[in-house]
Structure 1
Amino acid sequence: MSVQESAFHGFANPVDPSPAELRAWAYHPESIPLTSMPQDWDLLVSGNGLVATLFDLAMDPACPARRFALHCLYIYAADGIRTQFRAHPKRRFWKLVELAERDGDELMRTWAHNSRFLRDQPNEFVYRDWCEGGLVRANRRLT
């Protein structure tokens, strides 16, 4: 069951949205289309401050912006793994992976699998897949 805001009234600062604003937008993404967001907005919101919110949104099959949230989780995973967790807390990230494996649906289990794959095979990183949405669009498991 998802918790949805009745309406979204905009971001105080779209470059640095609060978790509540991001959540409200995710359930009403038509109110501000992605095409009108600041350039590289996906990269801007894919940090530590919003990762828990993004994870919750990606775990909710009823969330209209679920695929966007999942895309941001792929960015977060790649950033953490490729920087050997200098960019993101390692323990926090792997807890999310474990939650996705245990409680997630196929989309989330695929994200968890691919995160583990990248950890084990960092040279297999492809920017287009991890940071431009390729793995979300294809929903494929890396092998």
Structure 2
Amino acid sequence: MSVQDPTFRGFANPVDPSPAELRAWAYEPDSVPLETMPPDWDLLVSGDHLITTLFDLAMDPSCPARRFALHCLYIYAADGIRTKFRAHSRRRLRKLVEQAERNGDEPMLIWAHNTRVLQSRPELFDYHDWCEGGLVRQSRRL
């Protein structure tokens, strides 16, 4: 499933990377460490423009930046659900969840499960878990 650019040459604009730049970086994340990225870079890239790229990266167990991509999926899901889908499309999130359920491994199945739980019980939202990587670092089903 891994389609990668063999050499990452940097971001033209790190605040708004292209899907190709993000994908190339994800396979060479040490070339530009996360610590050197703009503050809240995870929040900046977790939008509609890059979500399918992030999803593909999170689905690839061999991607070195997979955990980062999965973290961004949690941000995206929570942002959509918490804004009652004013921030992101309910349909797009549903399609990603269904694809993860059909083709994903354990981390992706847990993300899909947790997203469905949050949709049915939005009061379970915890900023640390969903937006600061808690559910990625300590993977668990809600």
- RMSD over aligned CA atoms reads 0.5
TM-score, structure 2 as length reference: 0.99
Partner amino acid, structure 2, of 1:112: A
Map 1:89-128 → 2, pairs under 5 A? 89-128=89-128
Q: Which amino acid in structure 2 is aligned with residue 117 of structure 1?
A: V
Q: 1:66 and 1:13 mapped to 2: Cα distance?
A: 21
1:73 aligns with 2:73: yes
Alignment TM-score, normalising by the size of structure 1: 0.98
**Alignment-mate amino acid for residue 38 of structure 2:** P
AA matched with 2:67: R
TM-superposed deviation, 1:81: 0.5
Question: 1:75 Cα shift?
Answer: 0.1
1:2-81 counterparts in 2 under 5 A?
2-81=2-81
How many equivalent residue pairs?
142
Gaps of 5+ in 2: none
Identity of matched residues, %: 75
* Cα shift at 1:48: 0.2
Q: 2:134 matched to which residue of 1?
A: 134
Tell me, in whole angstroms, the C-alpha distance in 2 between the residues paired with 1:23 and 1:109: 22
After superposition, the C-alpha distances for 1:53-97 in whole angstroms (9 at most, x for unaligned) are: 000000000000000000000000000001110000110110000
Distance 2:63 2:124 in 1: 30
Give CA deviations for 1:74-124 in whole Å, capped at 9, x if unaligned.
000000001110000110110000000010000000000000010111011
Inter-partner Cα distance in structure 2 for 1:87 and 1:103: 26
Consecutive unaligned residues of structure 1, counting only runs of 5 or more, are: none
